[in-house]
Structure formats: C-alpha cells, structure tokens
Structure 1
Amino acid sequence: MDLAQLIRRYSSESACEEHLFQFRCDNGLRCRRCDDDSFVLVHSKTHSKSTSQKTLIECKSCHYQTSLKSGTIFQASKVPLRKWFIAAYLIANDKRKPDAEVMAQFLEVSKPTAQLLINKTEREMAEPTSFWKWIS
C-alpha cells in the first residue's frame, strides 16, 4: 500500500477506528469484567451539550464499556487516529530517521507532538505484536 492508498482507505476517523477495533478483536481482546471475547463498537457523546463522540468497545455479554483506545499507544492522545496512521506509514517506509519538524508540517501538529508520535510509534513497531505490522 502506498501513502495515497493509505490516505484514501483511512480517510475518516471512523475508518481508522474500525481498523483498530478489528485488530484488537483479532488479537485477544477480552472483557475485563466477564472475560468474554465478543464486542461491538459504540459511539457516545462525551457531554450532553457536545457534538463530539467517544468511541467505546462494549462487551456483548455483560455490556461493560471501555474506550477503544484504552490500553494502546493511542490512549489519552488527542491526535486523530488518521494522523497516527499517516505518521506510522511515513516512519515504516522511510529509510532515514524521521524528522519531527517535517512530520509536524505534514501532519499539521506541533513539533513536540510530532516527536511524541515518532517516539511512541517507533517503540510500538519494535514489539512483536505491534499494531503497525500491517503498515510496512
């Protein structure tokens, strides 16, 4: 997959969430409460007056809910998954050391945020069960 294909395939946050959800389900996701392995994605508003949504995973058995991003490198990140996916692609497919300044400009994030994305992504890519194995 080249960068243009990645951008088209993951053109929305929901497409990225679906991919992350499928990866987590395929890689041993278990309910913390009842240990079941069947889940659905649930979108809920974060505040009654807000239009933003939080994506949750809900256990089909006991209905326990947790964030889709919890327990991943995306946990507590305000950076959209789409930007994470693009950053990971660039890191995985560039032979040179990623440059935070160039990454920041390309992703339209601050330089410290770009450096954080680079550091976390490189650490995750080194893991044998890395989410990013599909991207290179």
Structure 2
Amino acid sequence: MNFKSLPQLLDYFREESTCIEYYENIRWKGNPTCPRCGSDKPYKTNRGYKCSNNDCYKKFTVKVGTIFQNSKIPMRIWFAAIFLATTYKKGISSVQLALDLGITQKSAWFVLHRIREMLKERAPKMLGKNNTVEVDETYIGGREGNKHFKKRRSSVNKSFTNNGKVFNPKKTVIGVIERKGKVVLKHSPNAQINHVKAFISSSVTKGSTIYSDEAPVYNYLKNNYTHKSVKHSANKYVVGNVHTNTIENFWSVLKRGLYGIYHQVSEKHLSRYLAEYSARFNTRELSSHDRFIKFLGNGEHVLSYKKLTI
C-alpha cells in the first residue's frame, strides 16, 4: 500500500490489529524480539507476547521500548500524526493536530514531541568529502523592538529586562549544509570559536571545501579545509561559486516555520524542533509514503511525559 494522502492512510489502518501487524513487520521483520532482554524466541499471547527467557519472562507488545509505549492513543491516530508531521514542510502545531485528529491539545503536544524524538539523527554521517559545504549561524528569538517595554533588555543592567527579570538573549543555532545534500544543525550556547570548531570538526570531513560569510570565527577553517568566504557587510553575496545562499534558504524555512507555526520555542525543546526540520529537509526527495516508512522504523526511542516536562 502506497500512502499518497492522509485519507488513504486512515482507510488502510481502520483496525488497531492492522496497525499492530504493520508495525511489527517494520520493527521486527517477522522475528519478534523481547525489548528487555533481547530474546528472539517469545511466544504469542492474547494481548501480545511473553518472553521465553526464564530470567526475564516478561510480557510485552510491539509498543514497548518505542515512542508508542504507555500511550492510550490508537495507533491509527499515531500513524496519522507521524504522516502529517513529516509531510508538512513547515510543521504542524499541537493545536492544529488536536483539531485534525480529535485529541486534546495536551496529547497532541506530547505526541509531536515524541515524534521529534524519533526524528533525531543518532549517527549523522560526515558531510563534505566530494560535495561543497556551507556553514552559517542564525539566532532564534523575538526582536527587541517588537517586545513590550517591560520585557526589553535594560539599558542600565544588560543582564536583566526592564521589569527586573533575567534577560534571555536569542538562541544560537549553527548549521552546515551540503549543496544538493543534507543539513546538520546544533543548538549552541553561543557562536564562539570553541563551539563552532567542535561542531564543524564533528560534522564535516577534513579537507572538504567550506564556504562561509566573513565572520572571524570561521578564519580557522583554512587550517583543515579549503575555505572561502563572501563579505556580506560589503553587499557581496555571490562571488563566482562562493556563496551561502543554500544555508540561508534553509534558515528562511526554519524561521518561517518556528515563528509562523509554533510562534515561540523554548530553549529546552529547541533541539527537538531542529531535528524535525532537518529530518524533513534531509528526506525531501522521498515520497510521503517512503518518508513515513523510514521514520516509523526509527521509533525505538522512549520519551516520558515526566522527562519532557521537568
């Protein structure tokens, strides 16, 4: 079955048993395995499976050890949420998802964060090598001029706002992107050289060609990479093949999504939102069905509500 639209997906997954069987085939490929001890010889029960290992002997279902664990939301609703969250280019809010799927906003918020946990790239491949890479940083947060006077940064003490609360500066995001390739993002405390250098060295193969703007933090790149830059302060944005337009285009999608769909993102959860946007971008050439299958197979990550909210 090739799901080209949400109605097709919901028509196919009418029964919970169909969803369970479908996910079992994706997760276990016909060989059920105990998520606690790893035994591959459980026996089937009326409600799932039971481990045959005498030291374990635990009951389990295909949901245990996944984003679906301890969830009372039907699997077809979960599948619909995954389909929507991975298909919409700029994402979908918990309010909209709750309206579309008939669940509460609180449940939709939790579902989306579990999906974002699933979308995280656990072992990202190094970029570069045979492809040109662009690097840049951006800042997430509202403009000071658009804030209420009480919430603006104090001119007397830069560490506080005008109403005496601690001032929270914009959140820094560093990104590297291959031309016609993938993007890797990181929420960083700041854009100082120690953070930038550590991120780039862990994301881009040494010897690769990297293009950036004229920020001094990138000057060190010439030691390990072929580095060229464009001087934006002089209104130069393209010099031959040297530019950062690819990463700038990605920033525009990211910011329009964060500001237009989610409006405000806390620093605590920013990394999950970055995982969401980079995952959709990196699978942009896949069909909606193939993207759904790919991410569904990466669901073995548990995120409790307590961990999410503490």
- CA offsets per residue over residues 8-52 of structure 1, 9 Å max, x none? 22111111111122222139853356x542455533xxxxxxxxx
Specify the code of the residue in structure 2 equivalent to 1:11: R
**Which residue in 1 is equivalent to 2:12?**
9
Specify the code of the residue in structure 2 equivalent to 1:123: E
Contact kept, 8 Å, 2:81 with 2:97, in 1: the verdict is yes
TM-score normalized by the length of structure 1:
0.72
- CA offsets per residue over residues 56-114 of structure 1, 9 Å max, x none? 22357877532331111111111111100000000011001211111001111110100
**Which residue in 2 is equivalent to 1:58?**
50
- Runs of 4+ with deviation above 6 angstroms: 60-63
Contact kept, 8 Å, 1:125 with 1:133, in 2: the verdict is no
In 1, the alpha carbon distance for the partners of 2:41 and 2:23 equals 15
Deviation at 1:134, TM superposition (A): 0.5
Contact kept, 8 Å, 1:41 with 1:57, in 2: the verdict is yes
SS of 2:48's equivalent in the other structure is strand
In 2, the alpha carbon distance for the partners of 1:37 and 1:24 equals 13
Alignment of 1:109-124 (within 5 A): 109-124=103-118
Contact kept, 8 Å, 2:24 with 2:30, in 1: the verdict is no
**Which residue in 2 is equivalent to 1:42?**
45
**Which residue in 1 is equivalent to 2:77?**
83
How many residue pairs get aligned? The number is 122
Contact kept, 8 Å, 1:88 with 1:135, in 2: the verdict is no
**Which residue in 1 is equivalent to 2:304?**
none
In 2, the alpha carbon distance for the partners of 1:86 and 1:135 equals 15
Percent of aligned pairs with the same amino acid: 25
In 1, the alpha carbon distance for the partners of 2:44 and 2:88 equals 33
Specify the code of the residue in structure 1 equivalent to 2:17: S
Structure 1, unpaired ranges of 5+: 44-54
In 1, the alpha carbon distance for the partners of 2:114 and 2:96 equals 17
Structure 2, unpaired ranges of 5+: 124-290, 296-310
TM-score normalized by the length of structure 2:
0.35
**Which residue in 2 is equivalent to 1:99?**
93
In 1, the alpha carbon distance for the partners of 2:95 and 2:39 equals 44
